[in-house]
Amino acid sequence: MRHQEQNAYKCSDYMDSAKATVHPSDRQALCNWGYQIISACIGVDRSSAVVAILYFDRFLSTSSPTVRWALADKCKFQLVFVACLVIALKVHSVFNIELDFVSDVLCGGAYSVEEIIVMEGEVLKALEWRLNGPTPHDFIDRFLHFLPPIDSIHIEYLSCFSKSLAEQALTRFSMALKSPSIIAFASIFCSLQCMDSLSNLTNLSILHIIDAVPGLDISDPQLRAICRKMIRLMREFSSSAHESVVRM
Protein backbone atom coordinates (compact mmCIF):
# COMPACT_ATOMS: atom_id res chain seq x y z
CA MET A 1 0.00 0.00 0.00
CA ARG A 2 2.78 2.44 0.83
CA HIS A 3 4.55 1.57 -2.42
CA GLN A 4 1.35 2.34 -4.32
CA GLU A 5 0.82 5.74 -2.71
CA GLN A 6 4.41 6.78 -3.37
CA ASN A 7 4.30 5.85 -7.06
CA ALA A 8 1.25 5.37 -9.29
CA TYR A 9 -1.14 7.12 -6.89
CA LYS A 10 0.99 10.14 -6.00
CA CYS A 11 -0.29 13.74 -6.29
CA SER A 12 1.51 17.01 -6.95
CA ASP A 13 0.90 20.68 -6.19
CA TYR A 14 -1.17 21.38 -9.27
CA MET A 15 -2.32 24.78 -7.98
CA ASP A 16 1.24 26.02 -8.28
CA SER A 17 0.62 26.43 -12.02
CA ALA A 18 1.04 30.00 -13.24
CA LYS A 19 -2.20 29.70 -15.22
CA ALA A 20 -4.32 28.40 -12.34
CA THR A 21 -7.17 30.74 -11.46
CA VAL A 22 -8.85 28.38 -9.00
CA HIS A 23 -7.87 28.50 -5.35
CA PRO A 24 -7.65 26.03 -2.45
CA SER A 25 -10.88 27.52 -1.11
CA ASP A 26 -12.66 26.49 -4.33
CA ARG A 27 -11.37 22.97 -3.89
CA GLN A 28 -12.39 22.91 -0.22
CA ALA A 29 -15.93 23.97 -1.13
CA LEU A 30 -16.17 21.11 -3.64
CA CYS A 31 -14.85 18.58 -1.12
CA ASN A 32 -17.41 19.65 1.48
CA TRP A 33 -20.14 19.51 -1.17
CA GLY A 34 -19.04 15.97 -2.04
CA TYR A 35 -19.30 14.89 1.60
CA GLN A 36 -22.79 16.39 1.80
CA ILE A 37 -23.91 14.56 -1.35
CA ILE A 38 -22.56 11.22 -0.14
CA SER A 39 -24.07 11.69 3.33
CA ALA A 40 -27.46 12.19 1.70
CA CYS A 41 -27.17 8.90 -0.21
CA ILE A 42 -28.71 6.20 1.97
CA GLY A 43 -26.44 3.20 2.36
CA VAL A 44 -23.37 4.89 0.85
CA ASP A 45 -20.27 5.20 3.02
CA ARG A 46 -18.50 8.56 3.21
CA SER A 47 -15.36 6.79 2.05
CA SER A 48 -16.78 7.12 -1.48
CA ALA A 49 -16.31 10.89 -1.17
CA VAL A 50 -12.75 10.31 0.05
CA VAL A 51 -12.07 8.22 -3.05
CA ALA A 52 -13.58 10.93 -5.28
CA ILE A 53 -11.31 13.57 -3.74
CA LEU A 54 -8.26 11.38 -4.33
CA TYR A 55 -9.29 10.83 -7.97
CA PHE A 56 -9.76 14.59 -8.31
CA ASP A 57 -6.31 15.48 -6.98
CA ARG A 58 -4.60 12.72 -8.96
CA PHE A 59 -6.29 13.76 -12.20
CA LEU A 60 -5.31 17.39 -11.73
CA SER A 61 -1.73 16.23 -11.11
CA THR A 62 -1.55 14.60 -14.54
CA SER A 63 -0.41 16.06 -17.86
CA SER A 64 -3.86 15.75 -19.42
CA PRO A 65 -4.66 18.78 -21.63
CA THR A 66 -7.96 19.03 -19.78
CA VAL A 67 -6.14 19.89 -16.55
CA ARG A 68 -4.92 23.30 -17.75
CA TRP A 69 -8.43 24.03 -18.97
CA ALA A 70 -9.98 23.02 -15.62
CA LEU A 71 -7.51 25.03 -13.52
CA ALA A 72 -8.33 28.16 -15.53
CA ASP A 73 -12.10 27.83 -15.31
CA LYS A 74 -14.02 27.27 -12.07
CA CYS A 75 -16.98 25.83 -13.96
CA LYS A 76 -14.80 23.17 -15.59
CA PHE A 77 -12.96 22.63 -12.31
CA GLN A 78 -16.29 21.71 -10.74
CA LEU A 79 -17.19 19.46 -13.69
CA VAL A 80 -14.02 17.45 -13.08
CA PHE A 81 -15.06 16.96 -9.44
CA VAL A 82 -18.57 15.87 -10.46
CA ALA A 83 -17.08 13.30 -12.84
CA CYS A 84 -14.76 12.00 -10.10
CA LEU A 85 -17.66 11.70 -7.67
CA VAL A 86 -19.71 9.75 -10.22
CA ILE A 87 -16.80 7.40 -10.93
CA ALA A 88 -16.22 6.82 -7.21
CA LEU A 89 -19.88 5.94 -6.70
CA LYS A 90 -19.83 3.54 -9.64
CA VAL A 91 -16.64 1.80 -8.51
CA HIS A 92 -16.84 1.84 -4.72
CA SER A 93 -20.53 1.63 -3.83
CA VAL A 94 -23.66 -0.27 -4.79
CA PHE A 95 -25.55 2.99 -5.22
CA ASN A 96 -27.11 3.20 -8.68
CA ILE A 97 -26.63 6.83 -9.62
CA GLU A 98 -28.54 8.15 -12.62
CA LEU A 99 -26.70 10.77 -14.67
CA ASP A 100 -29.96 12.59 -15.39
CA PHE A 101 -30.31 13.06 -11.64
CA VAL A 102 -26.71 14.26 -11.36
CA SER A 103 -27.18 16.72 -14.21
CA ASP A 104 -30.63 18.07 -13.33
CA VAL A 105 -30.67 17.91 -9.53
CA LEU A 106 -27.14 17.79 -8.11
CA CYS A 107 -25.71 20.18 -10.71
CA GLY A 108 -28.84 22.23 -11.26
CA GLY A 109 -28.56 21.84 -15.02
CA ALA A 110 -25.08 23.38 -15.12
CA TYR A 111 -23.76 20.36 -17.04
CA SER A 112 -25.46 18.04 -19.49
CA VAL A 113 -25.32 14.27 -19.21
CA GLU A 114 -23.06 14.25 -22.26
CA GLU A 115 -20.59 16.66 -20.67
CA ILE A 116 -20.39 14.52 -17.54
CA ILE A 117 -19.84 11.35 -19.58
CA VAL A 118 -17.07 12.98 -21.64
CA MET A 119 -15.34 14.21 -18.50
CA GLU A 120 -15.59 10.77 -16.92
CA GLY A 121 -13.73 9.43 -19.93
CA GLU A 122 -11.05 12.12 -19.63
CA VAL A 123 -10.51 11.30 -15.96
CA LEU A 124 -10.35 7.54 -16.53
CA LYS A 125 -7.90 7.96 -19.41
CA ALA A 126 -5.61 10.27 -17.43
CA LEU A 127 -5.68 7.97 -14.39
CA GLU A 128 -4.98 5.00 -16.68
CA TRP A 129 -7.93 3.25 -15.01
CA ARG A 130 -6.00 3.01 -11.73
CA LEU A 131 -9.00 3.34 -9.43
CA ASN A 132 -8.15 1.26 -6.37
CA GLY A 133 -5.33 3.10 -4.66
CA PRO A 134 -5.06 3.17 -0.86
CA THR A 135 -6.97 5.85 1.04
CA PRO A 136 -6.39 7.31 4.53
CA HIS A 137 -9.34 5.17 5.67
CA ASP A 138 -7.62 2.02 4.40
CA PHE A 139 -4.46 2.89 6.32
CA ILE A 140 -6.42 3.74 9.48
CA ASP A 141 -8.06 0.30 9.41
CA ARG A 142 -4.66 -1.32 8.88
CA PHE A 143 -2.84 0.72 11.55
CA LEU A 144 -5.47 0.03 14.20
CA HIS A 145 -4.63 -3.67 13.94
CA PHE A 146 -1.14 -2.84 15.21
CA LEU A 147 -2.33 -1.29 18.47
CA PRO A 148 -1.93 -3.08 21.79
CA PRO A 149 -5.10 -4.84 23.02
CA ILE A 150 -7.95 -2.32 23.42
CA ASP A 151 -11.63 -3.10 23.90
CA SER A 152 -13.88 -2.96 20.85
CA ILE A 153 -15.79 0.12 22.01
CA HIS A 154 -12.61 2.17 22.18
CA ILE A 155 -11.45 0.84 18.81
CA GLU A 156 -14.77 1.80 17.22
CA TYR A 157 -14.55 5.31 18.65
CA LEU A 158 -10.91 5.66 17.62
CA SER A 159 -11.70 4.50 14.08
CA CYS A 160 -14.68 6.82 13.73
CA PHE A 161 -12.93 9.92 15.03
CA SER A 162 -9.71 9.22 13.12
CA LYS A 163 -11.58 8.82 9.84
CA SER A 164 -13.56 12.00 10.48
CA LEU A 165 -10.31 13.89 11.05
CA ALA A 166 -8.81 12.40 7.88
CA GLU A 167 -11.87 13.48 5.90
CA GLN A 168 -11.50 17.02 7.16
CA ALA A 169 -7.77 16.98 6.43
CA LEU A 170 -8.46 16.09 2.80
CA THR A 171 -10.47 19.29 2.37
CA ARG A 172 -7.32 21.32 3.13
CA PHE A 173 -5.16 21.34 0.01
CA SER A 174 -1.83 21.63 1.85
CA MET A 175 -2.68 18.56 3.92
CA ALA A 176 -4.25 16.60 1.06
CA LEU A 177 -0.92 16.65 -0.77
CA LYS A 178 0.53 14.42 1.94
CA SER A 179 0.44 10.68 1.43
CA PRO A 180 -2.65 8.83 2.74
CA SER A 181 -0.54 6.84 5.23
CA ILE A 182 0.81 10.05 6.77
CA ILE A 183 -2.70 11.52 7.04
CA ALA A 184 -3.91 8.27 8.62
CA PHE A 185 -1.11 8.16 11.18
CA ALA A 186 -1.61 11.80 12.15
CA SER A 187 -5.36 11.25 12.48
CA ILE A 188 -4.87 8.32 14.85
CA PHE A 189 -2.21 10.20 16.80
CA CYS A 190 -4.55 13.17 17.38
CA SER A 191 -7.57 10.99 18.12
CA LEU A 192 -5.64 9.21 20.85
CA GLN A 193 -5.02 12.60 22.48
CA CYS A 194 -8.79 13.04 22.79
CA MET A 195 -9.43 9.75 24.53
CA ASP A 196 -8.83 10.38 28.21
CA SER A 197 -9.31 6.71 29.10
CA LEU A 198 -6.47 5.74 26.75
CA SER A 199 -4.04 8.52 27.65
CA ASN A 200 -1.69 6.03 29.30
CA LEU A 201 -1.56 4.00 26.08
CA THR A 202 -0.95 6.86 23.64
CA ASN A 203 2.84 6.62 23.42
CA LEU A 204 2.77 2.82 23.48
CA SER A 205 0.14 2.75 20.70
CA ILE A 206 2.16 5.10 18.50
CA LEU A 207 5.30 3.02 18.99
CA HIS A 208 3.39 -0.13 18.01
CA ILE A 209 2.37 1.47 14.72
CA ILE A 210 5.83 2.91 14.03
CA ASP A 211 7.47 -0.47 14.66
CA ALA A 212 4.98 -2.32 12.47
CA VAL A 213 5.08 -0.05 9.40
CA PRO A 214 8.32 0.02 7.38
CA GLY A 215 9.44 3.52 6.47
CA LEU A 216 7.25 5.28 9.03
CA ASP A 217 9.55 7.40 11.21
CA ILE A 218 8.28 9.65 14.01
CA SER A 219 11.36 11.86 13.54
CA ASP A 220 10.40 12.51 9.89
CA PRO A 221 9.85 16.31 9.54
CA GLN A 222 6.92 15.73 7.15
CA LEU A 223 5.21 13.45 9.64
CA ARG A 224 5.79 15.83 12.55
CA ALA A 225 4.52 18.79 10.51
CA ILE A 226 1.31 17.03 9.49
CA CYS A 227 0.71 15.98 13.12
CA ARG A 228 0.97 19.63 14.19
CA LYS A 229 -1.43 20.68 11.44
CA MET A 230 -3.79 17.88 12.40
CA ILE A 231 -3.81 19.04 16.01
CA ARG A 232 -4.87 22.52 14.87
CA LEU A 233 -7.52 21.00 12.63
CA MET A 234 -8.72 18.80 15.49
CA ARG A 235 -9.28 21.87 17.66
CA GLU A 236 -11.54 23.31 14.95
CA PHE A 237 -13.31 20.04 14.32
CA SER A 238 -13.52 18.34 17.72
CA SER A 239 -16.43 20.31 19.15
CA SER A 240 -18.78 19.36 16.32
CA ALA A 241 -17.43 15.81 16.03
CA HIS A 242 -17.89 15.11 19.73
CA GLU A 243 -21.56 16.03 19.48
CA SER A 244 -22.17 13.02 17.21
CA VAL A 245 -19.84 10.52 18.88
CA VAL A 246 -20.21 9.47 22.52
CA ARG A 247 -17.10 10.48 24.44
CA MET A 248 -15.39 7.59 26.19
Entry pTM: 0.86
Q: How confident is the model at residue 10 (pLDDT cuts 50, 70, 90)?
A: confident
- Give, in order, the Cα–Cα distances in Å from 65 to each of 122, 124, 125, 227: 9, 14, 12, 35
CA distance 206 to 117: 44
The pLDDT tens digits of the residues spanning 13-23 come to: 998 865 678 99
Q: Give the DSSP H/E element, type plus range, for residue 90.
A: helix 74-92
What rounded mean pLDDT belongs to the chain? 85
The pLDDT tens digits of the residues spanning 97-121 come to: 899 999 999 999 999 999 999 999 9
Answer for the pair 119, 110: CB distance below 8 angstroms, yes or no. Answer: no
The pLDDT tens digits of the residues spanning 205-245 come to: 666 676 667 777 777 787 788 888 888 888 776 655 544 44
CA distance 35 to 94: 17
Q: What is the largest CA-CA distance in the chain?
A: 56
CA distance 70 to 75: 8
